[in-house]
Structure 1
């Protein structure tokens, strides 16, 4: 074969490899039980204020979720479900971990029938260790809020702005046995009761994520600062550099209370911020991971 023919062969080989490589890259799928949240901008924080019906017009909720910011995030993956007891048990059984089981597990083992409940009584350090073991990390506060909004714009709740979802709504419906304020207007998340429910008991939000509101509140990676939204960067914010408390997001199973507008409490919104001592282990706080 002449030099010219050899060059043509090499060129054709390279072109074939490129043609094969492009579709493979395009077909990359999310890791198991994770969902890709697309890159782009979203409004983070509360762009409005709900007031009481008193003459004083007292705002409902804290003021730390204002002003709203138009935040630009890179694409990321987030767990479809909250980390379960069964998931966490695998971590505890792995070699090299010194993390102890949650204190409420009898003899350090999962109570029968509760394998699919979200793990709780896990502090921020233990949640971080689990995510690292799984090859992941805790989501930033901005990532968590974008994921919780489910692709909706400036919505107050994970399901939109309605305080209740009626039985004709095709979105989320409370399963049998879940706490309901009104049988005809079921609360579309686990916001009351005596314990969490198995993950995925309710239909997902617009991104296909379960229990972003309700069930258990969730640790995020960020330090908490009440004034952070005033000066936060508008692209891929990572939270304050230091602090005393870590962020917690999403309402939990104990957070339902009728407020003055007759719906779920302000703790159950996608924009409400919360925080806790990173050493705290609580029956109301769990987590999910991101990547």
Structure 2
């Protein structure tokens, strides 16, 4: 299991009965200015590097064809998601359940005292009541000074609802990896093969001893502004590190006959501020993971795409 993620089936917390939120979103046309058009074409997807996570099906390297598409240069921000909520009164899955996952060392002392549950296999996560997109570390936290950070505690269901409202869609994994590579061929990161070229930090990930001490050498303990680090050659920011990004497709198509469709894991890409080479080196462009569609956490967000009219 990845250190960077957890899912709701690992807990016995039930969903709150308050499900009165508008769950059907009328198609709209919001936040479409500034999208980048990528030409697409054939590229080499996947990896066969020695540190690839074989259980995640990162390989083999294969040629994949991608049609032209539009992509947002940044993941969806708290400010953008706030506008969606104000327009629709939508309740996220985290709000409907009444809780979400938060990394333990981001909690205030008061909130930490109230936590009673943590997953057995990833004990650095906490089940925090009242944690959601507008309260990222629980009820006593706020996004007031983080409107330019990526929105978090977003489920796949929530991401799809936002996409419907904005007139966009989620990226496929092939589109995501094509965009992340920025035209580079089989490089580990969006900028090349070196994680910190000339000692320069290029993304927001964990430094130090995971999960005990984060030295914050990149400048951040949790999320950071979506444009805090340099974009890749396509002009796209924050493709690795910072927050995981939901993709449109299933993680493993072989599961389609054994798991109900509403529970089938969806692919996530990019890693997050919790990734570290000692445990979860999924900030590589070929790395992938998954989560269930209703799961949310303090490092899980999304980015939007749009078809190019034919």
TM-score, structure 1 as length reference: 0.68
Look up the SS of the partner of 1:166 in the other structure: helix
> Matched residues in 2 for 1:95 and 1:82: separation?
20
Q: Deviations over 1:129-150 (max 9, x none)?
A: 0011111000011100100001
Task: Quote the residue 2:174 is aligned against.
Answer: 142
Look up the SS of the partner of 2:189 in the other structure: coil
Between the two proteins, the alignment pairs up a number of residues equal to 224
Work out whether residues 192 and 256 of structure 1, in 8 Å CA contact, stay in contact via their aligned partners in 2.
no
> Matched residues in 1 for 2:134 and 2:142: separation?
11
> Matched residues in 2 for 1:242 and 1:72: separation?
28
> Matched residues in 1 for 2:305 and 2:217: separation?
22
The alignment status of 1:85 with 2:86, answered yes or no, reads no
TM-aligned CA deviation for residue 207 of structure 1: 0.5
Task: Quote the residue 2:252 is aligned against.
Answer: 225
Larger displacement relative to structure 2 (201-210 or 110-119):
110-119
The alignment status of 1:282 with 2:297, answered yes or no, reads yes
Work out whether residues 41 and 70 of structure 1, in 8 Å CA contact, stay in contact via their aligned partners in 2.
yes
Task: Quote the residue 2:229 is aligned against.
Answer: 202
Task: Quote the residue 2:125 is aligned against.
Answer: none
Work out whether residues 191 and 255 of structure 1, in 8 Å CA contact, stay in contact via their aligned partners in 2.
no
Q: Residues 269 and 257 (structure 1 numbering): CA distance in 2 closer, same or farther, change over 3 Å?
A: same
Task: Quote the residue 1:130 is aligned against.
Answer: 162
- Greater C-alpha radius of gyration: 1
Larger displacement relative to structure 2 (108-117 or 200-209):
108-117
Q: Deviations over 1:152-180 (max 9, x none)?
A: 1111111111233115x7xx7569xx976
Look up the SS of the partner of 1:268 in the other structure: coil
Correspondent of 2:54 among 62, 65, 74:
62
Q: Residues 193 and 109 (structure 1 numbering): CA distance in 2 closer, same or farther, change over 3 Å?
A: closer
TM-aligned CA deviation for residue 110 of structure 1: 4.7
Correspondent of 2:240 among 195, 213, 223:
213
Higher strand share: 2
Task: Quote the residue 1:250 is aligned against.
Answer: 270
Task: Quote the residue 1:76 is aligned against.
Answer: 69
Structure 1 runs (4+) deviating above 6 angstroms are 106-109, 189-192
Q: Residues 250 and 150 (structure 1 numbering): CA distance in 2 closer, same or farther, change over 3 Å?
A: same
TM-aligned CA deviation for residue 125 of structure 1: 0.3
TM-score, structure 2 as length reference: 0.64
Q: Residues 95 and 280 (structure 1 numbering): CA distance in 2 closer, same or farther, change over 3 Å?
A: closer
TM-aligned CA deviation for residue 111 of structure 1: 2.8
Task: Quote the residue 1:49 is aligned against.
Answer: 49
Task: Quote the residue 2:40 is aligned against.
Answer: 39
Please, which runs of 5 or more residues in structure 1 have no aligned partner?
Answer: 1-30, 51-58, 182-188, 229-240, 260-264
Look up the SS of the partner of 1:130 in the other structure: helix
Work out whether residues 71 and 305 of structure 2, in 8 Å CA contact, stay in contact via their aligned partners in 1.
yes
Q: What is the 5 A alignment of 1:6-25?
A: none
CA RMSD of aligned residues (A): 3.2
> Matched residues in 2 for 1:36 and 1:255: separation?
29
> Matched residues in 1 for 2:305 and 2:142: separation?
24
Q: Residues 93 and 36 (structure 1 numbering): CA distance in 2 closer, same or farther, change over 3 Å?
A: same
The alignment status of 1:112 with 2:144, answered yes or no, reads yes
> Matched residues in 2 for 1:111 and 1:97: separation?
17
> Matched residues in 2 for 1:205 and 1:120: separation?
23
